[in-house]
Amino acid sequence: MEQVEQARQPADMPRGRITTPARIPESASPSAEHTTDLSMADFRAATAAQWREAVLTGEVSCVELATTALTAAATMSGLGAFIHLDPEFALARAEQQDRTLTLLRRSMSPHELARSSPLLGLPTAFKDLIPVAGLPLTSGTASSPAVVPARDAPLARTVHQAGAISIGKTQVPEFGLPCYSENQLAAPARNPLCITRTAGGSTGGGAVAVAAGILPLAPGSDGGGSVRIPAAACGLVGLKPGRGRIPDDDPLPSVQNLVTSGAIATIAEDAALLFDVMAKQGPAAQNAVQEALASGVTPLRVGVTTESPFSPDLDISLAEDAVQALENGISSLGKLGHHVQGTESCTGPERFWSQNYHQNFRALWTARLGELAFTDAQAELLEPLTQYFIELARSRPQATTRTAMSELQEFADDAEDIFGPWDVLMTPMLAFAPPQLGWFSSMAPEDNYAEQCRFTPYSSVVNVLGLPAINVPLHNSTDGLSWSIQLMGKRGSEEQLLAIAATMMG
């Protein structure tokens, strides 16, 4: 189901100095203390590709990396990254991979092994909305008991076949609906940058695990911002591919097909590694990133807008640090040789986004919930926000829902028209700082949903349009929080977005 994400909190963040996250230098490599002294477990010590290289050359084993991740997850359990950990499952798979690797080294070079198993030995975890064989699946709800799938979902199978090792399932909101990862089953996902604040959602647990160094990278899914929002909240790169780009996803071009699989990582290079696997292609994105870092990106025309599709129905106010991140993005792109221009210079007084977007998206977001059958006992256990969405869907006239779908489909069919003279569009990502845990859920459901929209005013429209987008962290505020911008690209531009992000962070 995984479909919503949005919101707001008072924009009281002080303006901080401009600091751009540094890339891990090429010389970085896993050191013994990060693989044998498990009290210092932290996968941010090197890139994901460098950890994999250490496995390929025999410097570390798959078991050592899995043990490192499991130990880190247990040590930092207070962050609420995981709903379920399964050491036995992970270590058994790691041992099997080590045995297979011993045999393959006799006939294959490290380069050949890397091409056949690009994620070899890398610990990861799927959000608890994605079936993984042998691991409980809760979908973040207390309304029904967990099930244990007998087989992987297609995406999980693809990632596992590339050599990654799942250590458990990460925290999510109920059915992936809100943009904060809190439910009745387990502790909330806490933001590693400030543990009293939300980590975002719905891939909140995955973002926490990467931001805390528990995992080198994490796959996610994005129905309205579920990859980009937690990535922004936790200071990470989050890539949302375009509709139909990931072979394991639903290929239907319908606007109702909002969810795409995406990648969360510390740097663009690692996100590219995971994206190449998910896209079932060679190292196209990785090559694009490396070429960009070596020689830059061909100058592009970048349009910048702060107009939200939720306006004017909702008042959208940007915190000073959100504006600072956008200013950093404009400055960075300019220094890299790109032509940056405000969209209002071409659109004039005309509205940039689709008319009636707020009410139409709410209809689209909740429509399928009205079709689900819950017993009275199950309904009582649902989160108040989920109950509210179900009531909205069931009380809305079908004609109203059809009209909303039709208008949004027309908008999506002409998605690239919004680019006008530009190659890429840039917006802020989050409007204000990640709220305190429990802030959204303390509100009446109607207000909760509206505040989510104000918090994430630029994310859901990308899913409606079916376009790719990437979150790029570009500013750290004085209180240690991270602030990002969003880059939207045309269909098939995922590699280009990753390359741009890498140069902006480099």
Tell me which residues are annotated as active site: 127, 202, 226
Which residues fall within 8 angstroms of residue 20, CB to CB, at 6 or more apart?
328, 332, 474, 475, 504, 505
Report d(CA 9, CA 200) in Å as an integer: 13
- 93 residue type, one letter: R
Chain Cα centroid distance, residue 293: 23
Cα dihedral sign for 501, 215, 129, 155?
A: positive
Q: Quick one: tokens of 119?
A: 């994620």
Show the beta-strand stretches assigned E in 288-440: 301-304, 339-342, 424-428
Which residues fall within 8 angstroms of residue 214, CB to CB, at 6 or more apart?
41, 43, 69, 72, 73, 76, 81, 208
Report d(CA 261, CA 227) in Å as an integer: 8
Q: Whole-angstrom distance between the N-terminal and C-terminal Cα of the chain?
A: 36
CB-based contact 20:502 (threshold 8 Å): no
- Find residue 217's DSSP bridge partners: 265
For strand 260-265 and strand 217-222, is the pairing parallel, antiparallel, or unpaired? antiparallel
